[in-house]
Chain A
Amino acid sequence: MDLLIDYVTLIGFGPTGWGWQLARATFLTISVSACAYLAGLVFGTLGAWGKLSASRAAHGVTDAYTTIIRGVPDLLVIYLFYFGGSTVMTKLGQMFGASGFWGLNGFMVGVLAVGVVSGAYQTEVLRGAFLAIPKGEIEAARAVGMGRLLMLRRIIGPRVLRFGLPGMGNVWQQVLKESALISVTGLAEIMRQIHIGAGSTHQPFDFYVTGFLLYLALTTVSGQLFRWAEGWTLVPERRAA
């Protein structure tokens, strides 16, 4: 019982507790993951468009992108953006007359690096979802005289959402867990914050278990949200049946 009280004091919101820091760290994890996921959606959409396009060049570029990114550890991609980013920024700064060292902050590095990685996976999910659309639906849309944009909005968009959402949910879980790697840049998200807490209180186990529970809560709740969204995309089909 004492152990439990000690633990709650440690992670609670009291004067000696780490509650506020952990809450802020959780918020940072959620926001960096969400931004990276959205960045990934942009890369993924471009990637899927390139992979499906008739252009040889676009196909080659996107193929190289997904092959390289999916074959290389995410940690290396984060290092590339973290160190490479500061080199580029410093050069850019010198070009505009600023001297000294410039760098990308951890948040930006995280969004870019995890975004590029998740974009490669989202490319494949979106491509698969597009290919799952029955040919007849597209022909029908064309036959009633829909323009390309209208067809994208009314037919392709909803169908890709419906077929791609389960895969997109998996990528989101992956992004959430990958966000822990951004801690190497010093960004105080959950992983970094509990590492700091563990070091300064000499109670590493308590802190790592707390982090464990926080991540479990995040993946469980967001997984449920995605399942709920999947049900929602099925509504029109149920109505039609």
Chain B
Amino acid sequence: MDFDFLGDTMMKLLAGVPLTLQLTAISVAIGAALAILLAVLRAVSRPGEYFVRFYVFCLRGTPLLLQIFLIYYGLGQFAFVRESILWPFLRQPYWCAILALSLNTAAYGSEIVRGGLQSVPAGAIEAARAAGMSKLLMYRRIILPLALRQALPAYGNEMVIMVKSTSLASIVTLMEVSGISYAIISETYRALEVFLCAGSIYLVINFLITRAVAAVEYRITPHLRPVST
């Protein structure tokens, strides 16, 4: 084992960690907000249900890489896109990657949140209605908190998947951990060593995320803990 090379590679790869984390955090934040909106839309209206089902069908039925390319390369074909005020964003790989990642995770996330919404006990909703809550207040105070608490563990998996998905941003030239890995491998042809370094970075990030999600889950489910005496 060439420890100098490993150390050197590790330092180079660590420089890409902030971008990987940034891509993950921004797209998970946007995606989760969208996911909740989509799931509620699906629950409250018939046309909304059809729209969300179609959206989820399209986004889950195609590869993420294709979605990134469609946004990054595809949209530029149209003059009206190139002349719109969004073009300064849409021509940058960074924003295209974030847009594609957010739309993609929103589709998977909305299914997770939908499961959470379905798990809200009918009694809780009846009680809220009996107390005279409006629909909005009921969603805010009763339904969403219960649904999101139920959905959190599954959402943790989705976050881990997102960390891994950000590696695709390297194909549209972003130099996050995978992009740097590719550059080092194609320069040195030492695939195994670089894989070990990059892999351990991803494993550590994912381990920390699962731990953090488990800690939050523990905090918000005091009713499930055994009574301490």
Contact = CB atoms under 8 A, between A and B. Distances in A.
Interface of A: 67-68, 71-77, 79-80, 82-84, 86-87, 173, 177-181, 183-184, 191, 195, 198, 202-209, 211-212, 215-216, 219-220
A17 to B, nearest CB: 18
Nearest to A181: B65
A100 B74 CA distance: 40
Interface stretch (B125-133, B147-155, B182-190): B182-190
Contact of B77 (A68, A87, A205): A205
A6 to B, nearest CB: 12
Given A76-B178, A180-B66, A209-B74, 14 more contacts: A71-B160, A71-B164, A73-B165, A74-B167, A75-B167, A75-B178, A76-B181, A180-B63, A184-B171, A204-B76, A205-B74, A211-B66, A215-B66, A219-B60
Contacts of B58: 212, 216
A86 B194 CA distance: 15
A76 B199 contact: yes
Report which residue of B64, B178, B192, B199 has the largest number of chain A beta carbons within 10 angstroms of its beta carbon: B199
A74 B191 contact: no
Interface of B: 57-58, 60-66, 69-70, 73-78, 160, 164-168, 170-171, 178, 181-182, 185-186, 189-192, 194-195, 198-199, 202-203, 206-207
A71 B160 CA distance: 8
Contacts of A84: 191-192, 195
A36 to B, nearest CB: 14
Given A76-B199, A83-B186, A84-B195, A212 B178 contact: no
Interface of A is mostly: helix
B103 to A, nearest CB: 13
B191 A68 contact: no
Given A75-B170, A83-B189, A208 B69 contact: yes
5 smallest A-B Cβ distances: which pairs?
A84-B191, A73-B167, A180-B63, A83-B191, A205-B77
Most buried by B among A67, A80, A209: A80
A212 B66 contact: yes
5 contacts: A71-B160, A75-B171, A79-B185, A177-B64, A195-B69
